[in-house]
């Protein structure tokens, strides 16, 4: 059985950048339902005992009739797990450690990285995600994906994500996705993102 991860902070902890009702609804309704649907899809199969990353990086192990349900719900469970751990009440500011150096050497500057990442989130048509990932060469890669799609399905290791589905911002920001994106930077958890970076490249 897959379990809903513990939210690492209170619903109201990201205020005013991400409001309490949005966090509660997003985590306790949307995220929880993806977990439940993943469990339903895999009921009676041995895949229920596997690690989620193991399944998503090797989707060949999923029976054809369950593929879409696992791609959508498994992808969304994974994506939200990373989302809640990409942000924190103690977040904001600029990256630290080895990640800071790598961002500068890859994107020219933090400001430039921030601009490109924001742009990917703002221009993702419809529901989706913006990502910072590490490819098989250990290089940083920016991307956006639609719906449940995720770099984890494409042989990359995501270390940071921003949810741009309307449910991530609509209660507070209505149609103004760029305002949500601007606020997102105030809660980005560089400590944990740097940790994932160092783990992945070591
Ligand atoms: Mn979401």
Determine the distance separating the centroid of ligand 1 and the alpha carbon of 94, expressed in angstroms. 24
Number of other CB atoms surrounding residue 131 within 10 Å? 26
Q: What is the pLDDT of residue 202?
A: 84
Q: Which residues sit with Cβ closer than 5 angstroms to ligand 1, an ion?
A: 163, 165
In this prediction, what percent of the chain has a pLDDT beyond 70? Answer: 100
Determine the distance separating the centroid of ligand 1 and the alpha carbon of 121, expressed in angstroms. 13
Determine the distance separating the centroid of ligand 1 and the alpha carbon of 93, expressed in angstroms. 23
Determine the distance separating the centroid of ligand 1 and the alpha carbon of 3, expressed in angstroms. 17
| Mean pLDDT across 159-176 | 98
Question: If pLDDT is split at 50, 70 and 90, which confidence band does 84 have?
Answer: very high
- Name the pTM for this structure: 0.97
| Mean pLDDT across 30-57 | 97
């Amino acid at each position: 059985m897959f379990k809903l991860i513990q939210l690492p902070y209170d619903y109201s902890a990201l205020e005013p950048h991400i409001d309490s009702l949005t966090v509660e609804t997003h985590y306790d309704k949307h995220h929880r339902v993806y977990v439940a649907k993943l469990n339903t899809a895999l009921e009676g199969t041995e895949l229920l005992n596997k690690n989620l990353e193991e399944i998503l990086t090797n989707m060949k192990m999923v029976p054809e009739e369950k593929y879409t349900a696992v791609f959508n719900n498994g992808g969304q469970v994974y994506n939200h797990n990373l989302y809640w751990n990409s942000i924190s009440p103690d977040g904001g500011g600029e990256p630290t450690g080895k990640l800071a150096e790598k961002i500068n050497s890859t994107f020219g500057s933090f400001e430039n990285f921030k601009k490109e990442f924001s742009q990917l989130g703002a221009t993702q048509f419809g529901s989706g995600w913006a990502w910072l990932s590490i490819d098989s060469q250990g290089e940083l890669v920016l991307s956006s994906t639609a719906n449940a799609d995720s770099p984890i399905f494409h042989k990359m290791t995501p270390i940071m994500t921003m949810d741009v589905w309307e449910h991530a911002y609509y209660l507070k920001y209505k149609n103004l996705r760029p305002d949500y994106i601007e606020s997102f930077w105030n809660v980005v958890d560089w400590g944990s993102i740097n940790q994932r970076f160092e783990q992945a490249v070591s």
